[in-house]
Amino acid sequence: MKNSKGIWKKTFVLTLAGGLAFWLANFAISRTSIAAEYRAIMSISYYPMLLQALFGGLIIGFCVSYFLLRFYDKIPTKKPFSKSVILSIIVLVIATILLQGPSSFLAVTNGALRSFLLGALFNAIRIPVLGIGIGWLYSRLYEEPDLSTGASMPAQAK
């Protein structure tokens, strides 16, 4: 891998942006009555949930950022914004199947389907917001303007 130090620095910056976007989306969702009902069903305390959302957002942000930078040219779109959203949707599918499903159906006796759907809905908001944040910051920081067309090109494509 060329410039290994450069990819880790970019990954760190994008991870922080993605984690912050995830946490802000989680905080906004957590203020709703539906989220309070979900926390009550799943017996989740409010403040630990906020801290767990921060760590979860950083972990997911790291994965999306690293794979965006590592496989940038292999992801089938041209814009980093859409590339990061595609990666975050892949993470959403994986998280829903491997984490959300078992936690909803094994931990809850009443309302298992409702808790699964609410958790999946919350993740369907939070995880793409993380991808949007990473893609937006990548576009702002790491794309150089293409003066011939007025568009921007990824710095690593040159």
Spell 70-99 as b/e; 16+ CB within 10 A means b. eeeeeeeeeebbebbbbbbeebbeebbeee
In DSSP terms, 152 is beta-bridged to 145
The whole-number average pLDDT for the span 135-156 is 72
Task: Give me the pLDDT at residue 146, please.
Answer: 61
Q: Which residue has the tokens 């496989």?
A: 71
Query: What single letter denotes the amino acid at residue 78?
Result: K
What are the structural domain ranges in the chain? 4-157
What torsion, rounded to 10 degrees, do the Cα atoms 44, 48, 51, 53 define? 0
Per-residue pLDDT tens digits for 117-142? 888 999 999 999 999 999 999 999 88
Per-residue pLDDT tens digits for 46-84? 999 999 999 999 999 999 999 999 999 999 898 999 999
Instruction: Give the predicted TM-score (pTM) of the model.
Output: 0.83
Is residue 38 scored above 60 in pLDDT?
A: yes
